[in-house]
Structure 1
């Protein structure tokens, strides 16, 4: 799943490549992924893109008409960029393509989604906050006003596992399964630690780990075309997706805990005092 750093990489790419260009055609291939009807998606045709922005894990293409194309790539979605958009006809139900956007210079992009579980969503909206998912977002952890004290305030009183807090978009926007693993590893913290029970030094470590991990990942994604962002993400991971490999910090074996539709990875030596976490299905706590 693309998370904040990859989404920011896509935003930077689109801002540089698509801004100033006019949308000449919008083709919907998966009508179920279109979540709005007013304004109609065709209202984007003939409008010039004025910039690309990020709201959590949502991408926002603003136009000169005040209409925004907003999309969320969900778990298995991606953006495929073309310098020349293919002329092939998109056949709904026969392709992973959900949406195709063509620009006035012949370039453009597809929004694609692999697998059978379809969660990718796109919207035409007059304001970003007209999209419910955007309206529910918590603060951005890389915002200037997201301080250590702001983080402490969000954690106070939450009898919830810290892994779940980091992944909850209504609490902190933009972090998903992968980077929550990386942040907790950098902070030397168990994913099962209760947010409300963290001591002051632990909050300090978590704040530093969150800012450093995300800042470094955003920098690594910067300037890369969409086709290269996934590999860059994998290369930057210390524990996520590295079950059975050696922890780069201490050399212990990276372990996994599996849930209904995902897993978490951690280092026992760095994070849990050598204790192996029970492999229980607690997915409801990690939403």
Structure 2
């Protein structure tokens, strides 16, 4: 699932590439991606792009005729081809394009590699007209993000910490992978409830939220968008590394079934040696 560091890098890459371009054509291949039926993306043909930015896990393409907002969902991403180049058939087979936006310099393909459509697109006057953006909590990559934002999101909650971190209404942009990385750095169990954390633990959590995401965002900046997913995978300390050695303590990273998916954690670093089940 795309998360804020990679979506930030994607938005920056697109902003540098397409701002000032005019939309030449829009082709919607999978109509389930379009969430504003009365205002389809084709209405943006002829509009000029004024900038691209990120809201949580959403990409907002601002135009002089409105906003095209894309939620990448679980398996969505963007593929780019320069004007005059042939599309990459092997990439298309792995992640088919559900919609394309052709601009002066090339074509933006909105792709989805999942077995069900998770990618969505809206055409709106304001990005906050998109429900998923309107309900976003504080964003840890914003300069003004503070310890109190973490305390407000976590401290009153009788809910497992990993689940809280993934709630977009609580903290924007964190998903399954970075929640594992944050909890590992903070030395906290994924299943501990938010309302049991001490002041010291809340401070460690805040430092980890800020540190992990800021470090990842900085590391992804400038990487070509087709390499961002692999760069994310390669940088993980515990996520996706069950059975491997913890880079901090040398223990074994373990799996935990969690809400229909899995989490990875280090028992030595995070649970006092206890194995979770």
Which residue pairs with 1:34 in the alignment? 34
- Contact kept? 2:35, 2:121, Cα under 8 Å: yes
Q: C-alpha distance in 1, partners of 2:260/2:192? A: 21
- Contact kept? 1:85, 1:109, Cα under 8 Å: no
Displacement of 1:40 after TM fit?
Answer: 2.7
Which residue pairs with 2:90 in the alignment? none
Structure 2 unmatched runs, 5+: 88-92
Q: C-alpha distance in 2, partners of 1:16/1:54? A: 14
1:245 aligns with 2:244: yes
- Contact kept? 1:23, 1:48, Cα under 8 Å: yes
Aligned residue pair count: 272
Which residue pairs with 1:285 in the alignment? none
Q: C-alpha distance in 1, partners of 2:86/2:253? A: 46
Which residue pairs with 1:230 in the alignment? 229
- Output the TM-score relative to the length of structure 1: 0.91
* RMSD over equivalenced CA pairs, Å: 1.7
Q: C-alpha distance in 1, partners of 2:53/2:220? A: 15
- Contact kept? 1:69, 1:122, Cα under 8 Å: yes
- Output the TM-score relative to the length of structure 2: 0.94
Q: Deviations over 1:170-196 (max 9, x none)?
A: 111100000000000000000011111
Which residue pairs with 1:254 in the alignment? 253
Q: C-alpha distance in 2, partners of 1:196/1:84? A: 54
Q: Give the SS at the match of 2:35.
A: coil
After TM superposition, the structure 1 = structure 2 runs for residues 1-287 of structure 1, keeping only pairs within 5 Å, are 1-65=1-65, 67-84=66-83, 96-105=96-105, 107-259=106-258, 261-278=260-277
Q: Give the SS at the match of 2:276.
A: coil
Q: C-alpha distance in 2, partners of 1:146/1:211? A: 8
Displacement of 1:6 after TM fit?
Answer: 0.5
Q: Give the SS at the match of 2:52.
A: strand
